[in-house]
């Protein structure tokens, strides 16, 4: 049996579980649709609203956050940290292009909710038969 008796052994085992602050995580998401829009829900716990960026290019959606480590604000010194701010990134394509001007984004309690309105064909209508 292996016992963690020496500090080097303990440090080696703990390094296996260490998550680097620079590691980018892929957040879980749900996508649903109706006739007019796609509805996307993304879980990003521990992220501030100001750190979330959503970019839309045609039918591609890019979601990313920046990891921000907050220093103690009460004047104390940080001696040990196990909880780290996560950095999230996710890119995906939807079947139809998105109308960015009509779409909405909301971030509340670590959940990003996107209402992505489908772009209507601009040259839609009937053709004139000659």
The residue written with tokens 């680097």 in the block is 20
Pairing mode, strands 104-108 and 29-33: unpaired
Per DSSP, the three-state class of 11 is helix
Q: Is the pTM of this model over 0.85?
A: no
pLDDT at 102: 92
Report CA-CA distances (Å) from 78 to 19, 56, 82, 128. 18, 39, 11, 73
Distance of CA 63 to the CA centre of its chain: 5
Q: What is the mean pLDDT of residues 2-18?
A: 60
Q: Where are the beta strands (DSSP E) in 12-110?
A: 24-25, 29-33, 37-43, 52-57, 60-65, 87-93, 104-108
pLDDT at 18: 55
Q: Please report which confidence band the pLDDT of residue 1 belongs to, taking 50, 70 and 90 as the band edges.
A: very low
Ramachandran category for residue 96: left, alpha or beta (phi over 0 → left; psi -120 to 50 → alpha): beta
Per the prediction, the chain carries an average pLDDT of 81
- Is the pLDDT at 121 greater than 90? The verdict is no
Euclidean distance between CA atoms 88 and 66, whole angstroms: 7
Among residues 41, 58, 54, the alpha carbon closest in space to that of 94 is found at: 58
The answer regarding whether domain 25-67+86-120 maps to CATH 3.30.70.2660 reads no
pLDDT at 108: 94
- Is the pLDDT at 37 greater than 90? The verdict is yes
pLDDT at 81: 74
pLDDT at 22: 58
Q: What is the mean pLDDT of residues 16-38?
A: 81
């Amino acid at each position: 049996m292996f016992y963690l008796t020496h500090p080097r052994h303990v440090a080696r085992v703990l390094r296996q579980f260490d998550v680097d602050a620079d590691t980018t995580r892929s957040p879980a998401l749900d996508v649903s649709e109706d006739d007019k829009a796609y509805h996307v829900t993304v879980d990003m716990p521990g992220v501030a609203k100001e750190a979330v960026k959503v970019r839309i290019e045609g039918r591609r959606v890019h979601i990313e956050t920046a990891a921000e480590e907050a220093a103690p604000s009460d004047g104390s010194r940080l001696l040990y940290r196990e909880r780290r701010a996560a950095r999230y990134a996710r890119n995906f394509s939807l079947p139809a292009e998105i109308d960015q001007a009509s779409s909405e984004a909301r971030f509340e309690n670590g959940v990003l909710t996107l209402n992505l309105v489908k772009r209507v064909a601009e040259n839609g209508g009937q053709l004139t038969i000659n």
